[in-house]
Amino acid sequence: MKLIIHGGFFSESDQSHDTKIAKQNALKSIIEKSYEFLKSNSSYDTVAYAVSLLEDDELFNAGIGSQIQSDGVIRMSAAIMDGDSQKLSGVINIENVKNPIFVAKALRQEDDRVLGGSGAKNYATEHGFEDFSTEIPQRRSEYEAKLKTGGKGTVGAVAIDSNGKLAVATSTGGKGFEIPGRISDSATVAGNYTNEYCAVSCTGVGEDIVSNATSAKIVTRVTDGMSIEDAFAKTFIELKQIDGFAGAIGIDNKGNIFHQDSYPTMVFASFDGENFEVFE
């Protein structure tokens, strides 16, 4: 059983040392709770749980604390996928729900598994998800001042359970001040992908991640026999060719955990029951 989570990027230039410490502590707490959950649950249920905890923490740009788009509205996206069935389900630009990842998870049972905008919100309402504002005062202040701090943030989780099953989940509150209707990578196979061989979640600039097909490339390369380290390396070389801004976390079916970013510093934490690692 192993688990790795990410919470976007940290920049010394626009975030304080206190914020860095707070994010390190939050990630440690979340991954410890999530690993305990993994002991008695599947990797699929665990990644949803881990991402929901990240969505509930306003330090991160997903769920509560999501960025505000250029028209003053928060729209969020999330997706989840398991390696066995390879069914990806997700929501795109959903409004006024507390945990987009749980709506994405609920869609797994449907034939139409990725919904956007009002359709996603209507589905959430019909299935008992209460109306909930995820806005916090800090984001409104940033919006009104037209600041863009924290605009390269997404949260995600990758896990392998005791049965060797892989799963991945990813959620984002957007980059902030985007054109309404803009679609990020998080609910696409570029930003969130797994099969029985490897699982990968991305964070960064969604347009760069989509252009590079980052998650799908890494997983495909591992499937074709490349090591997870080499698959990451080759994919990030290609990302560099377009000056792409991204970070990614992954686990292969041998239990190898790996992470890489194109521009420091991706916020992440991993735990395998013995060894804990957190970004510095």
The average pLDDT across 266-270 equals: 97
CB count in 10 Å sphere of residue 116: 17
The average pLDDT across 146-173 equals: 85
Residue 17 has pLDDT above 80, yes or no: yes
Q: Is the distance from CB of 158 to CB of 251 less than 8 angstroms?
A: yes
Instruction: Name the one residue in this structure whose structure tokens are 């599947």.
Output: 42
What are 74-83's pLDDT values in tens digits? 999 999 999 9
pLDDT value, residue 52: 98
- Which of 138-152, 165-179, 200-214 comes out lowest in average pLDDT? 138-152
Residue 135: inside a domain, yes or no? yes
Residue 153 has pLDDT above 80, yes or no: no
Q: How far apart are the C-alpha atoms of 76 and 153, rounded to whole Å? A: 12
CB count in 10 Å sphere of residue 45: 18
Helix (H, G, I), strand (E, B) or coil at 203: strand
pLDDT value, residue 89: 98
Residue 252: inside a domain, yes or no? yes
pLDDT value, residue 148: 46
Instruction: Name the one residue in this structure whose structure tokens are 């909930």.
Output: 132
The average pLDDT across 210-220 equals: 98
Residue 54: inside a domain, yes or no? yes
Residue 280: inside a domain, yes or no? no
Which CATH number goes with the domain that contains 133? 3.60.20.30
Residue 245: inside a domain, yes or no? yes
Backbone φ, ψ for residue 62 (5° rounding): -165, 145
Residue 90: inside a domain, yes or no? yes
| End-to-end CA gap in the chain | 24
pLDDT value, residue 164: 98
- Nearest Cα neighbor of 196 from 175, 220, 165 is 165
Residue 246: inside a domain, yes or no? yes
Among residues 46, 134, 154, 172, which one is catalytic?
154
Would you list which residues are annotated within the binding site?
A: 182-185, 203-206
Which two tokens mark 199?
């699982």
Q: Which domain holds residue 38?
A: 2-266+271-275
| Amino acid of residue 4 | I
The proportion of the chain whose per-residue pLDDT surpasses 90, expressed as a percent, equals 89
pLDDT bin (cut points 50, 70, 90) of residue 146 is low
Mean per-residue pLDDT of the chain:
94
Tell me how many domains the chain contains. 1
Helix (H, G, I), strand (E, B) or coil at 77: strand
Quote the Cα angle for 257-278-43, to 5°: 45
pLDDT value, residue 143: 63
Is 154 known to be catalytic?
A: yes
Q: In this structure, which long-range contacts are made by residues 231-236, counting pairs with CB atoms below 8 Å and at least 24 apart in sequence?
A: 231/198, 232/258, 232/260, 233/260, 236/260, 236/262
Q: How far apart are the C-alpha atoms of 5 and 249, rounded to whole Å? A: 7
The average pLDDT across 84-98 equals: 98
Instruction: Mark residue 117 as left, alpha or beta (left: phi above 0; alpha: psi -120 to 50; beta: remaining).
Output: left
- Nearest Cα neighbor of 136 from 51, 59, 25 is 59
Task: Tell me 97's DSSP state.
Answer: -
Residue 232 has pLDDT above 50, yes or no: yes
What are 239-266's pLDDT values in tens digits? 999 999 999 999 999 999 999 999 999 9
Would you list which residues are annotated within the binding site for substrate?
A: 182-185, 203-206
Residue 169: inside a domain, yes or no? yes
